[in-house]
Amino acid sequence: MNDAQMTLLVAELTTSTHPTTLTYDVDKDLAAAELMDENIPQIKSTMTGDEIWNEIDIDELDGLTAEQRDEIISFCAIDNHNSSSGGQAQTFLLKYFVVDSETIIGLIAARLGAVSQASLLGLGTVTGQLVAQARGEL
């Protein structure tokens, strides 16, 4: 961990509250685990073609024309798509599926992920030893 990251860690442990656990545990290892726990909801900025394909409802796909199905298959063969609201994945798929379709509902759910507070802060891996160091216990 570099000096800038250590400064962020010190600030997080002393002046911030964790978005889900609020205060950090007194135990250094538990505090590190709280920082590393992927429990903060976040929308994925990208999704793979496979992730998108896995959310397409087969019955809805079967209801499209052969040309439309081919376009969707080609789209899903691409490695990464912008999955943000208004991104290319949403724009493309809304041409074929209505907003309340199983496919769109599944994609919205699949876009949601979770990240750790350490990840959001750019801290990398936080260990109990680093927490103790940040707290001045070492």
With a threshold of 0.85, does the pTM exceed it?
Answer: no
Asked whether 31 and 24 are in contact (CB, 8 A), the reply is yes
* Average pLDDT value for residue range 20-31: 90
The pLDDT value given to residue 138: 74
Which range is least confidently modeled, 6-10, 106-110, 131-135?
A: 106-110
* Alpha-carbon radius of gyration of the chain: 21
Asked whether 64 and 72 are in contact (CB, 8 A), the reply is yes
Mean pLDDT of the chain: 92
